[in-house]
Amino acid sequence: MARLFGPAKTTSTDEALVRSLYEDHSQPLLAYATRLTGDRAAAEDVVQEALVRAWRNAGALAANADSVRAWLFTVTRNLVIDRVRARSARPAEVAESPAFDPVLVDHAQRVVDSMSVLAAIERLSEDHRRVLVEIYFHDRSVADAARALGITPGTVKSRSHYAVQALRLAMVGAPERTPA
């Protein structure tokens, strides 16, 4: 188990070697890893892992001091390649999207209002109701509504005025909307 986290025995020589490796090679390794990854934080992680591997292999590195820098750069490059491969092996992460769009506006009050208006329209006289239907539901002008109903434009204006007043009175008795 101790082999996973470092040499079985840490000597002061190993620590001095790793400390000198850090002082001598961390900045060039960081620049190299940053160039390879394009991300400073990821490069710092890679350099840290390379130095941990150097610590694990301190005995072998001490015996071969001439090739330490090349070894560190090779390990750094291999770690970057491993990260790229690991990222491409996994499917791309995507944000969760809801199964359906959230309700932005509760339309229940609109339904209640529509039902109240329809009930109030039903209580109007036939003449008033027909004028409102032509003007508001069929979107006709006063002149067009007069032609469709066979009455004068003045009568259409008068009936629509009194029909809207009657609707207002009928709606006062309807339950009021409470603000959301």
Per-10-residue mean pLDDT for the chain, 180 residues long? 44 74 88 92 92 83 78 92 85 70 73 84 90 90 93 94 88 56
Match domain 2-89 to its CATH number in 3.40.120, 1.10.3470, 1.10.1740, 3.30.200.
1.10.1740
The pLDDT value recorded for residue 75 is 92
The pLDDT value recorded for residue 180 is 41
The pLDDT value recorded for residue 10 is 56
The CA distance from 38 to 57, in Å, is 28
Q: What is the residue type of 128? A: H
The total of other beta-carbon atoms located within 10 Å of residue 24's CB is: 13
DSSP string, 3-30: HHHS-SS--HHHHHHHHHHHHHHHHHHH
Cα-trace Rg, the chain: 41
Is residue 21 a contact partner of residue 52, using CB atoms and an 8 Å limit? no
Residues of the chain with CATH 1.10.1740: 2-89
Query: What are the start-end ranges of the H helices in the chain?
Result: 2-5, 12-37, 40-56, 58-63, 68-89, 108-122, 126-132, 142-149, 153-172
Q: What angle do CA 97, 98, 104 make, to 5 degrees?
A: 120
The pLDDT value recorded for residue 56 is 86
Distances (CA, A) of 96 to 12, 60, 93, 105: 50, 48, 9, 22
The pLDDT value recorded for residue 5 is 42
* CATH classification (class only), 108-172: mainly alpha
Which pair of tokens denotes residue 13? 């020589």
Residues of the chain with CATH 1.10.10.10: 108-172
- pTM of the entire predicted model: 0.45
